[in-house]
Amino acid sequence: MEKRIFLAVLLSLAILIAYGQIAPMLFPELAHKPSPATATAGTSTAPGKSEPSKPASSTTGTTGTTSSVAAAVVPTPATSAAVPLANVSAAVQKNTAIDTPLFIATFSNRGAQLVSFKLKRYTTSKGELVELVKTRPAGRSDYPFAIVTTTRPLADELNSALWDVSESHEGANTMLQYRYARNGVSATKTFKVGPEYLFKFAVNLTPAVPYRVETGPGIHALGKDEGQSQLTITGNGLVQQNDKLEVFKREKIDHLQVFGPDAQFVALEDNYFLSVLRPEKASGAVLNRFDEAGPKPGVKQRELYAALNATQDGNVAGDAFFGPKEADIVDKYGLERTLQFGTFGVIARFFLFALKWINQTTHNWGWAIIVMTILIKIVLYPLQHKSIVSMRKSQKLQPKVEAIKARYKKAKSDPEQRQKMNVEVMKLYQSEGVNPMGGCLPMLLQLPIFWGFYGLLSRAIELRGAPFMGWIHDLSAKDPYYVTPILMTIAMFIQQSITPTTVDPAQKRMFMIMPIMFFFFFKELPSGLVLYWLVQNVLTVIQQLIMNKWWKDHPSDPTGNE
């Protein structure tokens, strides 16, 4: 009996060993299963190298849908976690274009990725639609929604394979479901796209291995004119955690930045456009840096990828946003902090609101800037008038001030005597009701306005490509012929020459250099900002000329009020 049991055990082992050798030939789909990964999904991985998707303009197997109905927030698409018994893939590549009033989104079944996202309301300097998905060189398969795993061959396979795709429609929304299965690995990707910039996505990988879903590199391939501007930012990374936004400069970021489950979204930005992954199911977020060959030989170009890590059960799901950083739009989707106007962002936001309101009447952003500059001048007039009067009084007191200084001329090296001289000068100012610093106040008040305009004109997409007149075709770009900076410099020279001053002639000549310095500073700034400063200077010159005329006719009244 014991011998029979012993023989039965041996026979069972022999059958199991034989099955292990024969089964792969009979059931190839079960032959190879991926070994468990030993690293986390946050491990840095370079973009996959595989056959790239065809351009979005390809008409092979393309379908489309057009709708103008506003999309409601839709539930996260369900994905199947069951491992198919048979391989699932497609025989031919198929691009699916979803055409809406705002954009044309093109998905490819090669890797189940987004290969094009063109915005219909924004164009380049060449008149082409703005494309938010960069083209890739041959051999790259890292379009948005590519999968990065700790097992590089698996990622290459998933990102280059042809996935089976099915398309359906739910009201104004188009659902694309991609499926792929081979060698015991099953993957699904689902996209639910409506007529708005925000859309849903869900990814499932079975068996669950550490992986992440990426978008990048960067966003919006810049035109030559945009790339030459010193104000241009491109491909910076953004992460919001606990309602606080953190910006990671593309040139300075460490190789890999990993963020915990409290990350509200991860994004890539340039001045005017944004790509966002906002998780509903994820295990943290990642910003990954990758240095690749640039357009110039021997020079590497740094790019950033934004990604969401999968949960332990192999899922990643959430919202994706590809679109403009327009105030009303980012506010609507809870992305308002991505619209960064700088230190004086509150002022910039107010100016944007005011400019949009004025532009409803002027129908020209340049004239809207001029009108708003006049309104600002009117609001600040009392302070500026007081400043001019203070400077006029200081000028009239100058002979008395010089007389006091002359009495202490021989005591220049005596600190105690110098202190007495300063006290005597201040008593003179107080007795005459003059504030020696009064002339500086309006300039200090102008600084927040100036920086608010600076942030507005370098970030507000509403002013991107907005023409003014003649040679100025874009108020957010520099004046191509430097006409407005030259006029601004001339106005500053005139303003300085007619403004009362208490400085000596040598110092006055030094101050005359300032307009030249301002020219070199302003010549590369947005023409809309230069237009504001030019109009401000012209209005100040007119105000000063009127005051000078009053003082000439009323020499005994320095206030100009009678």
Among 41-55, 490-504, 531-545, name the one with the lowest average pLDDT: 41-55
Residue 138 burial by Cβ neighbours in a 10 Å radius (0-12, 13-18, 19+): exposed
Q: Is pLDDT at 186 greater than 90 in this prediction?
A: yes
Per-residue model confidence (pLDDT) at position 49: 37
Per-residue pLDDT reduced to its tens digit, 470-491: 899 888 888 989 999 999 999 9
Split at pLDDT 50, 70, 90, the class of 151 is confident
Ranking 169-173, 262-266, 505-509 by mean pLDDT, the lowest is 505-509
The rounded distance, in Å, linking the Cα atoms of 199 and 197 is: 6
Q: At 462, phi and psi to the nearest 5?
A: -60, -30
**Cα–Cα nearest to 535, from 444, 438, 445, 446:** 446
Distance of CA 144 to the CA centre of its chain: 18
For residue 181, give both structure tokens. Answer: 């299965």
Structural element, H or E, at residue 408: none
Average pLDDT, the chain: 78
Query: What residues contact 150, with CB distance under 8 A and at least 6 apart?
Result: 37, 38, 39, 40, 41, 43, 45, 209, 210, 211
Q: What is the pLDDT of residues 525-557, one digit of tens each?
A: 889 889 999 998 999 899 888 887 877 766 666
For the domain spanning 56-68+80-340, the CATH number is 2.70.98.90
Task: For residue range 216-228, list pLDDT tens digits in order.
Answer: 887 866 655 554 4
pLDDT of 412 above 70:
no
Flag whether pLDDT at 12 surpasses 70. Answer: no
Ranked by mean pLDDT, the top range of 25-29, 156-160, 413-417 is: 156-160
Confidence of residue 287 (pLDDT cuts 50, 70, 90): very high
- The DSSP-derived string for 503-561 is S-HHHHHHHTTHHHHHHHHHTTS-HHHHHHHHHHHHHHHHHHHHHHHHHHH-TT-SSS-
**Alpha carbons 213 and 278: distance in angstroms, whole number:** 12
The H-assigned helical ranges of 105-218 are 152-160
| 228-261: pLDDT as tens digits | 454 566 778 999 999 999 988 887 887 788 899 8
What is the DSSP annotation of 455-518? HHHHH-GGGTT---STT---TTS--TT-HHHHHHHHHHHHHHHHS---S-HHHHHHHTTHHHHH
**pLDDT over 80 at 89, yes or no:** yes
Predicted local distance difference test score (pLDDT) of residue 472: 92
Residue range(s) in the chain whose domain bears CATH number 2.70.98.90: 56-68+80-340
Other Cβ atoms within 10 Å of 41 Cβ, number = 25
Q: What are phi and psi of 96, to 5 degrees?
A: -115, 115
SS3 183: coil
> Model's pTM, two decimal places?
0.74
